[in-house]
Amino acid sequence: MEFTIDKELFLKSLQKIQGIVEKRTSMPILSNVLLEATGSSLHVTATDLEVGMKSTYPAEVTTPGKITVGAKKLYEIVKELPNQAIVFSTKDNDWVEIKCGKVKFNIVGLSPDEFPYFPEIKEENLFEIESALLKGMIEKTSYAICTDETKYNLNGIFAKVEVNENGENAFKMVATDGHRLSIATGALKGTAGPELLKGVILPKKGVYEMKKITDEDSGTLMFGFMDNSAVIKRGDSYMVMRLVDGEFPDYNRVIPAANDRIVTVDKENFTHSVRRMAILSSEKFKGIMLEISSGGVKISSSNPELGDAMEDIDVAYDGEPISVRFNARYLLDVLAVAETESVEMKFRDELSPSIIVPEGSDSFLAVIMPMRL
């Protein structure tokens, strides 16, 4: 195999797959990137068996062929090469030669035959989705993804399309770690396939890679499902992620319906108050207290090892007084992704889940379980 490619383009292609290759793995081939030269293009593929990505770039192919090379080392090499065309060729015994101007590298690769199978994507399985919509919904939910690997069914985002009484599609993404839960809702044009109507769990790592794709530009992406995987296509790049095989908990059951003690606070001011109070939080004492009465909200924190702090926030409230304690981190995570100027907090009592929603918007809803007083 031999091909010639622009340095910047090659670098970009390798950068994109750095998040996917496994750093520590029992299968060395998964640390490698598969390079395939055909016709006038170079296909760059990486996978960790859970999330895979395949992109196509223009290249001048002298001899078609394929090889795998350590993805991290190759990236480091290309990054430091002079800004000229790179000639990449394979030698005997899976050795690779990289020439760029007066620089020459010989590095050892692995046979492409060992590289895991990457599925052929059928375009007809995909539907269009707005990149910005996907990006916003991932932002509003991904913070709540569970990091405890034993709860594998919570290690991702649950995506589902609910059809309302008017026959409109509501696209929902839900994430939870068992202490808090976040739901983002968006409108999905067109018809949803059976997978989304039933609901699927997108793996955490795939979600973060998908987020990177949506960060790159706006416009539309192609999204769909095949062989227990979700597929995203943008331009000449595909990403495939194996769906988490598990049952996502019934999130509708934990969204409280009877939270009738409602306080509306200015998001900026409230965020600063919580941040100030959180200064006294520690691993051992991380709760901050909200005491809500007709006089306003009194927010305080107390840490026997450091001291205490309190602050009054003026808000209108005419319901029953209530005191409730939260992990400050959980409040800040929600406030960081709420897009409106004010947020509504809805409580029932100090032991029941509380709701935070952006004022006057139904695109986002967060449920936070309090701490014991």
Binding site for another protein (CB under 8 A): 148-151, 176, 178-181, 249, 253-254, 283-284, 286-287, 327, 351, 353, 367, 369-372
Of the candidates 7, 50, 30, the one whose C-alpha atom is nearest the C-alpha of residue 244 is 50
Q: Considering beta carbons, is residue 123 or 149 the nearer one to another protein?
A: 149
Q: Considering beta carbons, is residue 25 or 228 the nearer one to another protein?
A: 25
Cα angle for residues 365, 134, 165 (degrees, 5° grid): 60
Q: Considering beta carbons, is residue 10 or 251 the nearer one to another protein?
A: 251
Question: According to DSSP H, which parts of 127-266 are helical?
Answer: 131-142, 194-198, 204-216, 251-254
DSSP 153: G
CB of residue 326 vs another protein: minimum separation in angstroms?
A: 9
CB of residue 264 vs another protein: minimum separation in angstroms?
A: 24
Work out the burial of residue 302: count CB atoms within 10 Å of its CB; fewer than 13 is exposed, 13-18 middle, 19 or more buried. Answer: middle
Q: Considering beta carbons, is residue 66 or 179 the nearer one to another protein?
A: 179
CB of residue 148 vs another protein: minimum separation in angstroms?
A: 4
CB of residue 105 vs another protein: minimum separation in angstroms?
A: 39
Cα–Cα distance, 328 to 286 (Å, whole number): 7
Work out the burial of residue 223: count CB atoms within 10 Å of its CB; fewer than 13 is exposed, 13-18 middle, 19 or more buried. Answer: buried
CB of residue 369 vs another protein: minimum separation in angstroms?
A: 4
CB of residue 262 vs another protein: minimum separation in angstroms?
A: 20
Q: Considering beta carbons, is residue 113 or 149 the nearer one to another protein?
A: 149
Q: Considering beta carbons, is residue 124 or 149 the nearer one to another protein?
A: 149
- Interhelix angle 267-278/328-337, rounded to 10 degrees, is 150
φ and ψ at 58, to 5 degrees? -70, 140
Pairing assessment for the beta strands 342-347 and 322-327 based on DSSP bridges: unpaired
